[in-house]
Amino acid sequence: MPTPNRDHEHLARLQDYYAENRRIPTQQRIADLIGFSKAAARKLLDRLEIEGFIERTPDGDGWIPSKRFFERAIASDAVRAGAPDVIQGDAGEPFLVDQYLIRDPSRTVMVPIKGESMIDAGIHDGDVAVIERGRPAAKGDFVIAIVDNAFTLKELDIERGQFILKPHNPAYPVIRPKGKLEIFGVLVGLARRYSH
């Protein structure tokens, strides 16, 4: 009976290692981690390269992750946030968080959020905002604006023909810029961890 292919399990171990160490381990380290011989570790790396999960470094002396290395499974059915519903729970198409959140990498920056002024909009202290620079901002957009040489994240609104910055927490005042209001970028996504 042939040995079942467990490459997906081995790939998961390499992904965990990469998350902790920010590099693909050596063949010897893979052998130690997974309980392989060094030759079997080399064959695993070759199979993962063929599948498009890793690639050789330009000088050929190591391995680097390719885009597929960062794929995560996404369930084929959505889960309700209201009444319970039956879902299949199986993995659907591969999902790349970066591809989902970022449409224009050269103009996108990730900005940590500090403070509670946008909490009623679901933006919390410790979240990471995905900000697209150079995107035209309109009334109702959440923006990072520069007011009096200070940065702030607020909703862009208009009052008596002038742009204002509206918080989403009644404990904070509306910002009515006295001088120039500059838009640093528009919020296009948000990342949050619930446990550390």
Domains, in order of start, for the chain: 7-70 (1.10.10.10), 72-101 (no CATH), 105-191 (2.10.109.10)
pLDDT tens for each residue of 64-92: 999 888 877 666 666 666 666 665 555 56
pLDDT tens for each residue of 124-179: 999 999 999 989 999 999 999 998 888 999 999 999 989 999 999 999 999 998 87
Rg, the chain, Cα only:
23
CB atoms within 10 A of CB 103: 13
pTM listed for this prediction: 0.65
The answer on pLDDT for 1 being more than 60 is no
Q: What is the predicted pLDDT for the residue at 59?
A: 86
Q: What is the predicted pLDDT for the residue at 80?
A: 63
Q: Tell me the two tokens of residue 56.
A: 């050789």
Q: What is the predicted pLDDT for the residue at 167?
A: 96
Catalytic (active-site) positions: 117, 154
pLDDT tens for each residue of 88-125: 555 567 777 777 888 887 888 999 999 999 999 999 99
